[in-house]
Structure 1
Amino acid sequence: MEPVAIVGIDCRFPGAPDTGAYWDLLMRGADGVGEVPRQRWDAKEFHSEAGEEGHTNTTEGGFIADPDAFDNEFFTVSPREAAAMDPQQRLLLQSAWRAVEDAGTAPRSLAGTRTGVYVGIMGNEWAQLHLTDYANVTAQMGSGNGYCMTANRISYHLDLKGPSLAVDTACSSSLVAAHLAVNALLSEECDTALVGGVNVALTPALSIFYTQAGLSAPDGRCKPFSAEANGIGRGEGVGVVVLRRLRDALADGQRVYAVIRGIAVNQDGRSNGLTAPNRWAQQDVLGAAYRRAGVEPSDVVFTEAHGTGTGLGDMMEVKALGHHHAGRGKPMALGSVKGNLGHTEGAAGIAGLIKVALSLHHRTVPASRFAAKESRQLKLRDHGLRLLKAPLRLPAGPTVAGLSSFGMGGTNAHAVLESAPGRAARPEPADDATPGGIGAAVFTLTAPNADALRRNLLAQADAAAARRVPLGPLARASNRVKAGHRHRFATAAGDTGELVARLRESAADPELLARLSGRPAGRPRTAFLFTGQGAQYPRMTAALYEQSALYRHFLDEADTALLPHTERSVRDLVLGGDEAVHSTRWTQPALFAVGYALGRTLTELGVHPGMLLGHSVGEFAAAVLARALPLDGAARLVAARGALMQQLPAGGGMVSVRAARADLAPRIEREPLVGVAAVNGPASTVLSGDLEALERIGAEIAEAGLTTRRLQVSHAFHSPLMRPVLARFAKIATEVGGGVPEIPLYSTVRGRVLDGEAMDAAYWVEHIGATVLFGDAAAALLADGPTHLVEIGPQPVLSGMVRRLDQPADSTAPAHVLPVRGPESGGRALADALAELYRGGVEPDWDAAYAPEERVAHPLPPYAFSTEHRYWARNPVRGPGTVAAPPHAPATAGHRAEESAPESAPASVLTLDRPGGPADPVADAVLGAVRLVGGYTDAAIGPHDRLYEDLGFDSVMIMELKNRLESRLAGIGTLTVQDLLPRLSSVGDLVAFLRELGATVPGPANFGDIGEDRALREEERTA
């Protein structure tokens, strides 16, 4: 059989709220057994030491804490629907999410994939309690109950397209579910499989059954293979594992806990009783699993047994194992997690599977609880078996283990597992791969709301502080796993200590959290602005070159392209601090190299511009990114341009004037050797030309009270003095050519976006002497609605110019992002820019931000769900001889089961910002109907909430909402779903639609009479 990898785990068992606590409990040899919580049933009322009919002989068992807590807002489930859901569904939803995260995958990234869900489940007591209370059965009760829904819920909320089914083979259910999942993976019916098991004990029914059948331990504890064994103790819990074909897991660099080598299922048929264990069937399923795994029994170092602690069951299992292991050398270690948890019934198989996987992963098998007093009657040594009285340290190399799970009805399952392969579980980077690394790390986290963000920031900070963790793999894991929600947090850090401090500060400081988080409303539109001449300085971007392998790669690439035309390394000149960088011959290729390298670094990081603009010489790098020029062609052009201009005689200059171009035109017309070099804004003009002529114009301007500033330049760029170089440059430009930009490029020659126009030889020749129409080009770009302006250059110049331009009245000002802020900028500034872009909605290619050695799987704490909202039955089950109404009324969000409902709820609904102002009866009626249908409290909803995405409405709830609106509002007639659906984007949109129909609220004689008002109050109180 092709091996299948366990790549993700999450669980919650008695005394163990998560996977780490579960392993700790096992290693301590502790148990999670205690008294039956009053929340379930009054154990004393049902207890009888003699085990009388209708009673149990124990008041104890293994119960998980807070099974009523459910973060319904996270899954966009309305309170009313959450209250109707079987707690087993709620537990599985949260556990599945956490298991996928543990697999190093963002759960939302599985949407639309062939991911299967297989759930083992044995009991459905919630349905027994609620569906028999016929007067209170609602539409939500149907989807809230039923075995199938435990799996289907997961598939629905994660949008999974693979098989989705629940399995009930009694105690073997979840291992049989794993068997089906493995086969589906091997037949390529799915590529990833989530396997879960769950059990929540809500009534004493099975405890009574175990007592009456003589199977119940009086102290509520299973004591597998022990001389003290005296029956079953009930337990509960939930566990989910993520399975993938081993080859796929290794190819994707996932951590592998363990490998399933073989798995088999059989039935004992007509044996010595429907519920009695059968030795022969058990030994057959063991043999089948060994054969499928290709192992000999002697290869198996330890086995996690079914081991319930009943005399007959333990004896049959020992004999079945002995058939394969007796006389084969060293006795095989044997244990059963039921000694720690009790018998978790439908979750028993998954509890054992997780224990074996963790044991192989940690290279240690925990000691068997109750092993100190081994049962002599079982003669374990004679059967080649031994109980572990101390943890077993596993030797290096492959280790094989077994796992059994047997169903009460005779369906048996056995799995053979092996330790994960020793080779590195990640692909080697390709030989020609661009080296990654930006010199700092960006930690990211997403959540549905700000409170969830704070809660999870603290959870991540605590985990990172608790152990030494390399920052690169940790941050990369956050980028890959903690994604998919609306609220995005991102921060750059240089080391783990700094990250921990920043996470804690952000969680404590609302203003800092607001700065470091964003909630993008739509798809971002990013523009790159390439800085022109004047921004250069010695050693520009030197720190970034030293710290970022990615930037280093692209600057080297640009230098290689320039070298045949410059005869000296531009890179070395720049990084060496040579003042020659201010010489035109070197300035232009140096700025081109920096612009190209920085632009390509960002695109390699997944920041793909939708708009490009370059100021003067900045247009060359922009043209390369727009694929209008090849790199070598642009390098040749810009090197020739700089060299030719350097050869021009001195005597030219440039002057910046705080005036409009039109105001300067009369003066310029009188001076043939002066031109307008640039128009950077409505009142920002640069003149260029002969120095004497500029002085004459300057004197006139000064008399008019206008501000001027002499620019430090070697030549009069973009002026008539450039004409002598045009012929020679045109010859080179003709040889290079040029094409139409593939990305919208806002030309500073044309002052607008190029519309199918080639950036050919004629364009680049005109470019030399033409006025730089930056203000016009930037205004045209702003009118097209960019969300982010990223300045590409050695220091910010263009951002200030853009801010002085008029922003279109109907648009939001774009964010200005600066990957390089000046001489000291290095990897940290680039990381800050990437973080800002991510907060704004950009989806970076995160792997490029990290060096190859950092691209390894790293575990992060799973999502910390809110425990604020509680959903449970109000009335506990009572003892024999009493009559109690079924506990149909669930606790509302924020209230525990023991708390009583409020005496009444306010008749009027929300006092939030309603459409139409504070006195708006139509809005009140609509908001009230929405609140009642969803079971929301007064403060939970407002007009901007979206019915589907925020409030969890579905088709059933929409129908109920339609009926309520028809009963509450006059003037709307009979609504049709077809008319309603297009207007359900938000509550406010629905209110506006109903107003268009002429909706009014009936007077007191109808809607507001005492009877109706009372009915609504009662409905609100119980919903």
Structure 2
Amino acid sequence: MTVREPIAVVGLDCRFPGARDAQEYWSLLMDGRDGTQRVPRERWDADRHHAAVPDAAHTAPEARPAGRSNTVRGGFITDPDAFDPGFFGIAPREAAAMDPQQRLLLQSSWRAIEDAALAPQDLAGTDTGVFVGVMANEWAFLQLADYDRITARHGSGNGYFMGANRVSYHLDLKGPSLAVDTACSSSLVAVHLAVNSLRAGECDHALAAGTNLIMTPVINIFYTQAGLSAPDGRCKPFSAAADGIGRAEGVAVLVLRRLSDALADRQPVYAVLKETGINQDGRSNGITAPNRFAQQQLIESVWRRAGVTADDIRFIEAHGTGTLLGDFIEAQALGELTSGRSGGSVALGSVKSNFGHAEGAAGIAGLIKVVLALHHRTVPPSRFADDENPKLDLPGRRLSLLKSPLRLPSGTVHAAVSSFGMGGSNAHAVLASAPRSVHHGRHPAPGVFTLSARTPERLRANLLAQADALARRPESQLAQLCWTSNRVKSRMPYRAAASAADLPALIAELRRAAERAEQTARADGGRRGPSVAFAFTGQGSQHPGMTASWYRSCPAYAHHLDEIDKLLAPHVHTSVRDAVLDGDADAARARLAQPALFAVGYALAATLTEAGIIPSAVIGHSIGEFAAACAAGALDPADAARLVARRGALMDDLPEDGGMLAVSLEAAEVELLLAGRERLSVAAVNGPRGTVVSGDLAELSSLEALLGERGVPVRRLAVSHAFHSPLMRPVVEEFRRECAEVSDRRPALPVFSTVHGRGLTGEETMDADYWARQITEPVRFAEAAGALLASGVTHVVEIGPRAVLTPLLSRLRADGGHAVSLHSAHPGEHAPGHRPQQLFGELWCAGLTPDWNLLYADTDRVPRRLPPYLFDESFRSWRSGAAPAGPESSAPAVPLDTDTTAVPSGADHGERRPPVPAGDVPDSLDALTRRLVCRIGGHDPRQVHDDDRLHEDLGFDSIRVMELKTRIEDALPQLGQLPIEDLLASLRTVADLVAYLRGQLADGGASAVPVTAEGTR
């Protein structure tokens, strides 16, 4: 029989009694701990529903007290009511009505996907399938018994189907989505369906899940009456002390892929599902009784299709409930297959011994135990192994309970897991250890670690969690961990980025970021997205070894510098790249400095553009205008290379009889001082009191002395020539002729000319006359940059080897500009060598999305597991199984009625507010709108802001929108009935809604248009 394609387990998350995540789950298993506890008081009054029945299995039914359970213990998870509704864009009132199993599945699904080194947002719109095993819906019983309080929220908040559909909806997954109820085997059957869906090509990723919550004593009573309940609330599988089932709960999600796809993406793999199968007992000795032969036939079939025999199976995770009949039948069925194996016994265990029978989540609990055992290559011990039931004859069947952990051998190891449903639906799976893969990273290789969260508080918590986890990782994985964080952790509004060349430094940076997380600004807080301008540095910013850190640590930059170096070489007659990187002393002279600055500027801009940081405008300071023209499409790089090489050579051949002086005066004041000094001129105006004078050295010294006498701060610039002065005139005409051969092209981007001191307009181009004028004309940077800042750009990135323009831009911002300045280089020449990573992190924190791959070599683009997101647990909603049906007892922990004028909680059920008097509307419309939004969604008014999106942030779906429409019409009757199409079009943010209503009121109210509940006319 042909073995079908294996399925890889690439991610997982779980919560079980005594374990809040997979790491704690593994520790619980390896330590052999007991995860059971007394029934929490929030569930029900255990004493009220308890009646001691010492041996329920041997007590006649008529002797068992009706309506009573024989145990007060079970396996319960902590804080099942905790949820982060805002993270998923769910309104608090809707979350309060949802089955907590849906809430748990949402968070566990997100965490499992992140554990697979995937960004959940990357699965949005894909054919990812969701398969959920569930057999209990006690929340619905508690919520829906009071008919008078049922709302639309309760309909969408309950039902088995919503367990899967809720995940598909909120993560925008388009593949198969279904809930499975086959009782205790539900979650392993869900895995089987997911495996088949992947193999059939219905989906490329699948979430297979199981969930169970114990909210009432109903099943406990049923088990007691059926003689199935263990008095101590503990399962003791295959033990002589086995006396029934102890109930448990939990939630778990696996992320599955076809193995070939996972390996092609170099995705980490926990283990491999080789084959799965399901069948039914049919008619046996009772609908709730197991069938030995059906179990045996299923296991044989799955093993055969998996291509394994009993000799290949090293351990089996049994169904193992701890009932006398169930243990005996399962041991018989397994023994028929294992008793003839060669070698030693097969290890046998059941996770139910650790915390009980998790029912709808039982199968996946056992499966995750097997997955982790294969991953860690160790099988955990079995509780109660010291008291093995001799009647089962496990040694004769070549089965053994582990009293201590079993270390698995190297190479491929196989294991199996079973799960049997109370109604006779059986499931079985064969797994294998993951194929070995080695992906060594470069050492050392710098990276930028990115992390984002929904709130500053969550950002701090997640930063600390990542720092703790990274402290346990090998140094060689630094770049791979950073690349994974860029791919998985970078999509939320509050952001932090830390760059480092080694792990200890990165961990320290993350902890420092956590300390200032509360001051983090929201990256997408503006009404419009970020726009970036490139500002290209001029001569004087060059230094030995400039941008060497970019060349070493950013492969894309190295490529672009190499390419422009080839274009420059025929004109410069040497390698500009080598001169730059080697710190050639001649690089300070104009002949080499100007081509070098052009090459660096061009390569930096090309790298950022390739990374998706597309400029919306450019500005260049002197020689920087050539790289700016290339970025704007006004110059071809080959033409620009020839021109800058010729420009530098012409200037370098001029006599070195000039200099430049920075003067702290307004340009107009300086012009007065230059009257009569014909060999001096204003060379640049960099700011309100930032003027540069250029010209003859003797006249410059005279001016410097005069200014010194008047107490004006001055600074002599270290230059070889008097650039932008009358001393440059001898080369102007020859350079004009050189430029005449270049085709005249209009820029494709706005260019803010430092020759004109403004943006180029209309048909203006950077033609030969422009470049000729540029040699002697002053650099009017302050005027051009002021116009740039006023144009609406949000960020200006300085492109050059040193941050020269950034401080100038900062001073201009203080005088009325608004854009934030960033720079591609370090402020100093000897700063740490990971500036590319820092800049990408700064751009990302500003709300941009760079292509992180450009920072990493192929060997570093390997996914690594990082701790999943830590959700906010301040929201709580629960309904006790002890409470009689009646007034709603569940409520979010957030205050819903903090506004004293807010509608009381009963208003969710048809209450009408008195209309607001028309004369009061204009001044109170904002407050009224916010109040209605908060009331309908159940939001704390203190946490709702103008730029909050009603759908994504506040959870306003179609039901909430219709309710909002009704409330607005009641509060503002002068509007009549609002057209639903117009309302929907105005519901992006709270501010948009207010503006729409204000406009309607200004227009005299909307026309009355009848609208149905579905929003159609």
Give TM-score scaled by structure 2 length.
Answer: 0.87
- The percentage of counterpart residues that share the same residue type is 54
Offset, 1:788: 1.4
Where do residues 196-211 of structure 1 align in structure 2 (5 Å cutoff)? 196-211=209-224
Aligned twin of 1:431: none
Offset, 1:490: 1.9
Change in CA separation of 1:927 and 1:196 when aligned onto 2, cut-off 3 Å: same
What is the SS of the residue equivalent to 2:340? coil
Where do residues 46-57 of structure 1 align in structure 2 (5 Å cutoff)? 46-50=49-53, 51-57=64-70
Offset, 1:981: 2.8
Structure 1 residue corresponding to 2:16, chosen from 13, 16, 21: 13
Where do residues 442-841 of structure 1 align in structure 2 (5 Å cutoff)? 442-465=448-471, 470-509=477-516, 513-514=519-520, 519=525, 522-542=528-548, 551=557, 554-603=560-609, 605-626=611-632, 629=635, 631-653=637-659, 677-678=683-684, 680=686, 711-718=717-724, 722=728, 724-725=730-731, 741-749=747-755, 751-753=758-760, 764=771, 767-768=774-775, 772-805=779-812, 812-841=818-847
Offset, 1:647: 2.3
CA–CA distance in structure 2, aligned partners of residues 49 and 709 of structure 1: 94
1:309-328 Cα shifts (integer Å, max 9, x gaps): 12222222223223332212
1:633-660 Cα shifts (integer Å, max 9, x gaps): 5434322322232223444555666777
Q: Is the contact between residue 801 and residue 824 of structure 2 (CA under 8 Å) also seen in structure 1?
A: no
Structure 1 residue corresponding to 2:232, chosen from 203, 210, 219: 219
Offset, 1:285: 1.9
Aligned twin of 1:980: 983
Q: Is the contact between residue 553 and residue 836 of structure 2 (CA under 8 Å) also seen in structure 1?
A: no
Q: Is the contact between residue 61 and residue 342 of structure 1 (CA under 8 Å) also seen in structure 2?
A: yes
Aligned twin of 1:866: 872
Structure 2 residue corresponding to 1:877, chosen from 872, 876, 882: 882
Change in CA separation of 1:715 and 1:458 when aligned onto 2, cut-off 3 Å: closer
What is the SS of the residue equivalent to 1:263? strand
1:448-497 Cα shifts (integer Å, max 9, x gaps): 11121122222223333456665333333322222221111223334333
Q: Is the contact between residue 142 and residue 881 of structure 2 (CA under 8 Å) also seen in structure 1?
A: no
Change in CA separation of 1:90 and 1:709 when aligned onto 2, cut-off 3 Å: closer
Change in CA separation of 1:292 and 1:761 when aligned onto 2, cut-off 3 Å: farther
Offset, 1:149: 0.7
Change in CA separation of 1:763 and 1:278 when aligned onto 2, cut-off 3 Å: farther
Change in CA separation of 1:55 and 1:955 when aligned onto 2, cut-off 3 Å: same
Deviation larger for 680-689 or 617-626:
680-689
Change in CA separation of 1:214 and 1:597 when aligned onto 2, cut-off 3 Å: same
Offset, 1:996: 5.2
Amino acid at match of 2:424: G
What is the SS of the residue equivalent to 1:322? helix
1:393-420 Cα shifts (integer Å, max 9, x gaps): 1111111111111112222111111111
Amino acid at match of 1:856: V
1:182-205 Cα shifts (integer Å, max 9, x gaps): 111122211111111000011111
CA–CA distance in structure 2, aligned partners of residues 482 and 500 of structure 1: 16
Q: Is the contact between residue 351 and residue 365 of structure 2 (CA under 8 Å) also seen in structure 1?
A: yes
What is the SS of the residue equivalent to 1:260? strand
Offset, 1:678: 4.5
Change in CA separation of 1:757 and 1:538 when aligned onto 2, cut-off 3 Å: same
CA–CA distance in structure 2, aligned partners of residues 646 and 334 of structure 1: 84
CA–CA distance in structure 2, aligned partners of residues 985 and 379 of structure 1: 68
- List runs of 5+ in structure 2 lacking aligned partners: 54-63, 905-915, 1003-1017
Q: Is the contact between residue 235 and residue 353 of structure 2 (CA under 8 Å) also seen in structure 1?
A: yes
User: Does 2:991 correspond to 1:971?
Assistant: no
User: Does 2:174 correspond to 1:157?
Assistant: no
Aligned twin of 1:388: 402
CA–CA distance in structure 2, aligned partners of residues 887 and 415 of structure 1: 46
Q: Is the contact between residue 439 and residue 827 of structure 1 (CA under 8 Å) also seen in structure 2?
A: no
Offset, 1:123: 0.8
Change in CA separation of 1:307 and 1:454 when aligned onto 2, cut-off 3 Å: same
Aligned twin of 2:43: 40
Amino acid at match of 1:446: S
Offset, 1:739: 5.5
1:242-279 Cα shifts (integer Å, max 9, x gaps): 11111221222211001111111222333333222222
Aligned twin of 2:84: 71
Change in CA separation of 1:757 and 1:280 when aligned onto 2, cut-off 3 Å: farther
Aligned twin of 1:433: none
Amino acid at match of 1:788: H
Offset, 1:764: 5.0
What is the SS of the residue equivalent to 1:297? coil
Where do residues 138-287 of structure 1 align in structure 2 (5 Å cutoff)? 138-287=151-300
CA–CA distance in structure 1, aligned partners of residues 212 and 982 of structure 2: 43
Amino acid at match of 1:313: G
Q: Is the contact between residue 477 and residue 857 of structure 1 (CA under 8 Å) also seen in structure 2?
A: yes
1:333-368 Cα shifts (integer Å, max 9, x gaps): 221111112111110111111111101100011112
CA–CA distance in structure 1, aligned partners of residues 117 and 100 of structure 2: 27
CA–CA distance in structure 1, aligned partners of residues 920 and 702 of structure 2: 64
Q: Is the contact between residue 129 and residue 203 of structure 2 (CA under 8 Å) also seen in structure 1?
A: yes
Aligned twin of 1:890: 890
Q: Is the contact between residue 549 and residue 835 of structure 2 (CA under 8 Å) also seen in structure 1?
A: no
Deviation larger for 439-448 or 718-727:
718-727
Structure 2 residue corresponding to 1:318, chosen from 331, 339, 345: 331
What is the SS of the residue equivalent to 1:648? coil
Q: Is the contact between residue 753 and residue 780 of structure 1 (CA under 8 Å) also seen in structure 2?
A: no
CA–CA distance in structure 2, aligned partners of residues 196 and 619 of structure 1: 58
Aligned twin of 2:954: 951
Offset, 1:552: 5.1
Change in CA separation of 1:393 and 1:702 when aligned onto 2, cut-off 3 Å: closer
Aligned twin of 1:402: 416
Aligned twin of 1:295: 308
CA–CA distance in structure 1, aligned partners of residues 684 and 658 of structure 2: 15
Q: Is the contact between residue 438 and residue 550 of structure 1 (CA under 8 Å) also seen in structure 2?
A: no
What is the SS of the residue equivalent to 2:107? helix
Q: Is the contact between residue 230 and residue 243 of structure 2 (CA under 8 Å) also seen in structure 1?
A: yes
What is the SS of the residue equivalent to 2:792? coil
Structure 2 residue corresponding to 1:335, chosen from 320, 326, 349: 349
Change in CA separation of 1:924 and 1:716 when aligned onto 2, cut-off 3 Å: closer
Aligned pair count reads: 973
What is the SS of the residue equivalent to 1:259? strand
Deviation larger for 789-798 or 238-247:
789-798
CA–CA distance in structure 2, aligned partners of residues 19 and 886 of structure 1: 38
Q: Is the contact between residue 876 and residue 887 of structure 1 (CA under 8 Å) also seen in structure 2?
A: no
Give TM-score scaled by structure 1 length.
Answer: 0.86
1:849-903 Cα shifts (integer Å, max 9, x gaps): 3344433332222211222221011x5427xxxxx335732133159xxxxx99x
- List runs of 5+ in structure 1 lacking aligned partners: 429-435, 879-883, 896-900, 1000-1023
CA–CA distance in structure 2, aligned partners of residues 291 and 768 of structure 1: 83
Q: Is the contact between residue 798 and residue 821 of structure 2 (CA under 8 Å) also seen in structure 1?
A: no
Change in CA separation of 1:41 and 1:660 when aligned onto 2, cut-off 3 Å: closer
Change in CA separation of 1:23 and 1:791 when aligned onto 2, cut-off 3 Å: same
What is the SS of the residue equivalent to 2:392? coil
CA–CA distance in structure 2, aligned partners of residues 327 and 216 of structure 1: 34
Where do residues 922-937 of structure 1 align in structure 2 (5 Å cutoff)? 923-937=926-940
Q: Is the contact between residue 256 and residue 425 of structure 1 (CA under 8 Å) also seen in structure 2?
A: no
Q: Is the contact between residue 966 and residue 975 of structure 1 (CA under 8 Å) also seen in structure 2?
A: yes
Offset, 1:743: 4.6
